[in-house]
Amino acid sequence: MGVVAGDGDLPLILANKARADGAEVYIAALKGFANQDWHGFETQTFAVEDMAAMCVWFHDVGADAVTFAGSVKRPDFDYFQPDNLAVSAQDALHGAAQQGDDALLRAVISIFEQAGFSVIGLDDIAPDYLVKTGLWGRKSAYGGTEADCLRASEIARTIGAMDIGQGAVVAKGVVLAVEAQEGTAAMLSRCAALPAALRGTQKNRCGVFAKWAKPEQDRRIDLPVIGMATIKAVAEAGLSGLVLEAGGVILLNPEAIYETAERLGLFILGVQAEA
């Protein structure tokens, strides 16, 4: 199995899991993003745009399936020079880049599929890391937040459908923040900076952070990821908990995340999206 590895802990977690399950794992580490210690894995480093070279290498080592893990900042398409990709694929990439992140990722997947690889996602490799339906963490913190959970989920799904982003914060019926390109950490820290009348505090928690997969995105790539830093940022913003799409959001370290949430006084609610 080939792993195209970006930033963060997910690529290594996933590579270890796949190897433990008996797969041969080959790592295409993206220059400037993959910052894991790949000791013990067969690894080559590639620039983000060297997709043709990645495909050649994966073919050479005999990988037939490819997965994408870890975050990658959007490159500047004014200066984006893919390696010897077919002109049609280059055009498709540049065109898709103008239509938003989802279109861009679909174009990337399609380049690997056209090179003969099956592109697989986390639910094939490590389904245990996907959020499960149910209430976790400090369960008692959930009471009274039902309306905020519903509203925050609705907003996260709507902005996801519009390819804006995947996260939203609602407190006492008011939408405090919506996430676009600034990312989750910046969004949560600006919630903490809002007037106290709007938000909760660490002593008197109020409000809910929702994270849902984009309803129309290709689930094999770019599912949102919640790590320990997110849980801590939710706590620091004075919120009561998280509502996450069951099966649509990755928990980097499920047991530790549930324990930390409980310790910090936060609930984590996994909700199945309606079909």
Strands 208-211 and 167-171, bridge-based pairing: antiparallel
Instruction: Give the span between the Cα atoms of 105 and 92, in whole angstroms.
Output: 11
Residues 143, 148, 149, 150, CA torsion sign? positive
Shortest Å distance, C-beta 75 to a second copy: 6
Q: Is 94 in the site for a second copy (CB under 8 A)?
A: no
By C-beta, is 78 or 255 nearer to a second copy? 78
How many Cβ atoms from other residues are within 10 Å of residue 269's Cβ? Answer: 23
Residue 41, both tokens: 């894995």
State which of residues 20, 61, 175, 185 lies at the interface with a second copy (CB under 8 A): 175
Residue 233, both tokens: 């940022």
Residue 77, both tokens: 């398409």
String of contacts with a second copy for each residue 24-63, x by CB under 8 A = ----------------------------------------
Q: Is 176 in the site for a second copy (CB under 8 A)?
A: yes
State which of residues 164, 223, 231, 234 lies at the interface with a second copy (CB under 8 A): 164
By C-beta, is 131 or 221 nearer to a second copy? 221
Shortest Å distance, C-beta 210 to a second copy: 13
Residue with tokens 């679909």: 106
Of 25-33, 37-45, 49-57, 176-184, the window that binds a second copy (rule: CB under 8 A) is 176-184
Instruction: Give the span between the Cα atoms of 125 and 118, in whole angstroms.
Output: 13
Shortest Å distance, C-beta 35 to a second copy: 17
How many Cβ atoms from other residues are within 10 Å of residue 20's Cβ? Answer: 10
String of contacts with a second copy for each residue 188-217, x by CB under 8 A = --x--xxxxxx-------------------
State which of residues 173, 203, 255, 275 lies at the interface with a second copy (CB under 8 A): 173
Q: Is 101 in the site for a second copy (CB under 8 A)?
A: yes
Q: Is 174 in the site for a second copy (CB under 8 A)?
A: yes
Of 41-49, 52-60, 181-189, 259-267, the window that binds a second copy (rule: CB under 8 A) is 181-189
Q: Which of residues 104-163 bind a second copy (CB under 8 A)?
A: 147, 154-155, 158-159, 162-163
Residue 246 one-letter amino acid: A
**Contact 68/110 with Cβ under 8 angstroms?**
no
DSSP assignment of 157-184 equals: HHHHHTTS-SEEEEETTEEEEE-STT-H
Query: In the Cβ-directed half-sphere of 65, how many Cα atoms lie within 13 Å?
Result: 13
Residue with tokens 């930033």: 7
Closest C-alpha to 58, from 115, 122, 16, 105: 115
**Contact 28/2 with Cβ under 8 angstroms?**
yes
Shortest Å distance, C-beta 171 to a second copy: 9
Shortest Å distance, C-beta 160 to a second copy: 11
Shortest Å distance, C-beta 78 to a second copy: 8
Q: Which residues bind a second copy (CB under 8 A)?
A: 73-78, 97-101, 147, 154-155, 158-159, 162-165, 169, 172-182, 186, 190, 193-198
